[in-house]
Amino acid sequence: MFLLIKKYFILALWITLASVPAHAQWPYEVPFVPSPQVVVDEMLRLANVTKDDFVMDLGSGDGRILITAATKFGARGIGVDLDENLIFQSEANAQNAGVSERVQFIRQDLFKTDLKRATVITMYLLPGVNMRLRPVLLGLKPGTRIVAHDFDLGDWKPDAKVTIRKNAMLWVVPAKVDGRWRLQLPLPAGAQTWDMDLRQKHQEIDGVVRVADRPPGGIWQPALRGDKVSFVLVDNTVREDEANMYFEGTVRDGVMSGEFRRGVGASQTRHAWRAERVRP
């Protein structure tokens, strides 16, 4: 008899909860579901967090990600959450862990939070929230690392992904490089000006290079990670002396610059290079 009453009670409770609108059951966009500690550790390892980083945890819950960043990696940071009770809990947890001077927790809408100070952003949010947040993340300083538990950022492919119990994904905010760039190159045949047209989809880039009246040439092995760019061009200005040119450089304020290596082995030479954006 007792079991029968209990069964009907549970059924009635389930029906009651099901009839309540979702927003009334949970007042925030993202429910609090804590990440397992091993996933937290892997997220921070994947982001290569160090004592020089400032971590911002969006939807910080009980504070475990930020507290781990401080205790195991020496970082500083801020956690953002809307739930006042979780803020109090996070502050108590930080106090118990002895890192209250390194971390802070604020009750705030993450969409109204200035993220520019962050070198690393951590999050365990829902897919719809991630997609609304994506334009803000793409607008951050190139090189900012973003690491998420389980849910991705749509067609912005992660730079790295690991699965240890759960998925952890890393993105590095890419510099904006789409457009035409004018390269000044010191070559054996003499100094030359080449135009490079780049197309970009997040950190994926490709394009062509244009030299005087010659047909467009290829840009090989292009790669972009944060503000670091690399690619290979072929110097065929002298047919009998063709050589690959391996470029590495940094993108900053409409300028690319760095060093390229022409040729291989004993014939390899090194040169400085610079390119300016001449058309978006």
Spatial distance between the Cα atoms of 247 and 236, rounded to a whole number of angstroms: 16
Domains along the sequence of the chain with CATH: 28-172 (3.40.50.150), 179-279 (2.40.128)
pLDDT per position as a tens digit, 33-82: 788 899 999 999 999 999 999 999 999 999 999 999 999 999 999 999 99
**Residue located via tokens 């390229």:** 260
52-73 in b/e burial notation, b at 16+ Cβ within 10 A?
ebebbbbbbbbbbbbbbbbeeb
> Going by DSSP bridges, is the β-strand pair 145-149/166-172 parallel, antiparallel, or unpaired?
antiparallel
Q: What is the pLDDT of residue 214?
A: 80
pLDDT per position as a tens digit, 162-195: 999 999 999 999 999 999 999 999 988 888 899 9
pLDDT over 90 percentage in the chain: 78
- Is the whole model's pTM more than 0.75, yes or no? yes
